[in-house]
Amino acid sequence: MKIKKHKQKSRLIVCQGDELLVFQKISNKLEYGLVGGFLKKGETPENALIRETYEETGVHLSEQDLDYYDSLTFDWGNNQKLSKHYFVCRNANKSFLLNEPHKFNKIEWVYWKHTLAYLGKSDRKVVKSLFKPCKINY
């Protein structure tokens, strides 16, 4: 099978203790999303995330503000692949604002476990792996 397109997204995980910064999407049902979006041609995942964070929240980040966490790639239908690159924000003490009210109802801090049922599948998987303690079986 030949892949027609391979799209990429970057996502920012911002935490304060047990709380996660999420957007509440405009929808008939409760849905959350993370800061971030698609890479433009020639952009690195970090540069796309810096651009998207500024567009969506008004916060200026630098690469030094980002710690790489994980990447997931999956089938996106019609011979397309989608990769999501996740980064953790080193400093959550920034003034994240809602700059795109046409896309989101609000931006808010939510206890991480309360976000899981309302995040997309891959975002949920990554958030769970970040917050859940490591369990070692002997």
Instruction: Determine the Cα–Cα distance for residues 13 and 11; give it in Å rounded to an integer.
Output: 7
Domains and CATH numbers, the chain: 5-131 (3.90.79.10)
pLDDT tens across 2-16, in order? 657 889 999 999 999
Q: Which two tokens stand for residue 113?
A: 């476990």
Within the chain, residue ranges assigned H as helices are 45-57, 112-115, 121-131
Q: Once rounded to an integer, what is the mean pLDDT over residues 107-135?
A: 92
pLDDT tens across 107-117, in order? 999 999 999 99
Binned at pLDDT 50, 70 and 90, residue 1 comes out as low
Instruction: Determine the Cα–Cα distance for residues 65 and 67; give it in Å rounded to an integer.
Output: 7
CA distances from 84 to 15, 58, 99, 123 (A): 19, 22, 22, 9
Q: 78: which DSSP letter?
A: T
Q: Can you give the pLDDT at residue 138?
A: 53
List of residues 6+ apart from 56 with CB closer than 8 A? 23, 35, 36, 37, 98, 99, 100, 103, 104
Q: Which two tokens stand for residue 31?
A: 């849905």
Instruction: Determine the Cα–Cα distance for residues 12 and 94; give it in Å rounded to an integer.
Output: 13
